[in-house]
Amino acid sequence: MFNKLAGAVNLPGAVVLLAGILAAVASPALAEEQNSEPMTPFKTWRDLKVTESLSRDGSVNYYYFPLKNGTKAHLCVLDLKSKSFCVRPSVNSPTCPTTSSGAKSQAIAAVNGGFFNLSNGESTSYVVIDGKQICDPATNKDLVTNPKLMPFLDTIFNRSELRIDKSGFPSIAAHKDLHPKNEKAQYVLGGGPQLLPKLTAKDEAFIRTGSDGKQVDSIGCNKTAARTAIGITSDDHFLILCVAGKGQDEFSSGITLEQLAQVLSNLGCKRALNFDGGTSTTMAIADKSSADGALKMVCGRQPETRVKSTLLIVPRK
C-alpha cells in the first residue's frame, strides 16, 4: 500500500523503513543490479497457457507465470465482447479486504483499486458508479490540507483514470479530459500514472520536486515493488495484472513502473494504467470448490490488506 496522501510512501512500520534504508545504503550496487535484471522472456497473453478458466464461455481466464528474481505475475483477461461478464469498480465503506468486496458483488475476479488515506480511509482517487460520483479527492481533508502537496493539487486532481461507458467499453484518460462524445462515464476508477502509451509519472506528480529542491518518488516508481495495473489491447481485451514477490513488503521485491509498462506492452496492451500497489496489491479469483461464491486469493498478503476501492469482473445484469 502506498501512502494515502499520494505524497510520501506509507510503510508498515519504522522497522521496515529503517531496514529498507540500511539495505539501500549498505548495498546500492545490489539494488541497482536487481532493478536492471532482465525479466523472464514470455509470449503475448494469447500464447500463455490458461492456468484456470473463470467462465464457462471462456471469456474470462486467469494466467500465472514467473517474471524475475522470484517475482510472479497474476493475470486475468476479459474478452470485452463477452455477453456474460463486464468490468466494474466498487467502493468499500469502511475499507475491507479485496476478497470480501469481490464476493459481495458476486465477482469472478477482483483486484485492489485506487489510492486512499490510511489516516481516515478516504479515497485520493475519483470513483464513479452508475453515473454517480462516490469518491472525490477534493473533499479529502487529509489530502487538501497537506502543505507539501498543496502546490501539486491541480495535477493530483487530474491524474489518470479508468473509464467505462454505457456499453461497457473501457478507456484510459486524465480526469479532466472530455469523453469523445462528451458523455459522462458510467463508471470511473482513478489511479495513475499511465503506463502506456508512455509513462507519465512526472506529468502526474507521482515523481515531483518539492519546495526544498528534493525529488519525491511517492509510490517508488523507480524501485521494485508489488504492482497492480490494467491494460487494453487493440483487439478488445481487458487485462488485469498483479505482480508481486515473496513477502510483498514495501519495496522488497517486485518490479519498477517502467518494467511494469514493458510487461503490459509485451502482453499486447496499447493503453495501460497503474493502480495502488505495494502491500495493497491483491488478486482474488472464483473458488470453484466453494458453494457460496467465495473468492480465493492468488496474490496478496496475509492477513489480507484492507482497501477502499476494488476493480471487479462481474456478471452482466
CB atoms within 10 A of CB 241: 27
Q: Are 205 and 7 in contact (CB under 8 A)?
A: no
Give the pTM.
Answer: 0.88
DSSP conformation letters of 144-207: HT-TTTGGGHHHHTT-EEEEE-TTS-EEEEETTSPPTT----SEEEE---EEESS--TTTTTSE
Distances (CA, A) of 84 to 54, 106, 119, 198: 12, 13, 39, 32
**Dist CA 284 CA 294 (whole Å):** 10
Preceding omega of 66 cis (within 30 degrees of 0): no
Q: Which is it for strands 187-190 and 127-129: parallel, antiparallel or unpaired?
A: antiparallel
Q: Are 218 and 206 in contact (CB under 8 A)?
A: yes
Instruction: Measure CA 6 to chain center.
Output: 14
**Residue 202: Cβ-neighbour burial (10 angstroms; 0-12, 13-18, 19+):** middle
Q: Residue 16: what pLDDT?
A: 30
Q: Residue 161: what pLDDT?
A: 97
Q: Residue 31: what pLDDT?
A: 39
Mean pLDDT by 10 residues, the chain (317 residues): 45 30 34 53 85 96 91 97 97 96 96 94 96 96 94 96 94 83 83 98 96 92 96 97 87 90 96 96 94 91 95 95
Q: Residue 177: what pLDDT?
A: 86
Question: Which grid cell sits at 157?
Answer: 486532481
Helix, strand and coil content of the chain, in percent to the nearest 5, comes to: 20, 35, 45
Q: Which is it for strands 187-190 and 170-174: parallel, antiparallel or unpaired?
A: unpaired
Q: At what angle do helices 28-36 and 14-26 cross, to 10 degrees?
A: 90
Closest listed residue to residue 309, CA positions, set 80, 61, 88, 3 = 88
For 6-24, b/e burial (b = at least 16 CB within 10 A) is: bbebbbeeeeeeeebeeee
List the helix and strand counts (H, then E) for the chain.
6, 19
Q: Residue 248: what pLDDT?
A: 81
Q: Residue 180: what pLDDT?
A: 56
Question: Which grid cell sits at 109?
Answer: 475476479
DSSP conformation letters of 132-150: EEEE-GGG-HHHHT-TTTG
**Dist CA 222 CA 224 (whole Å):** 7
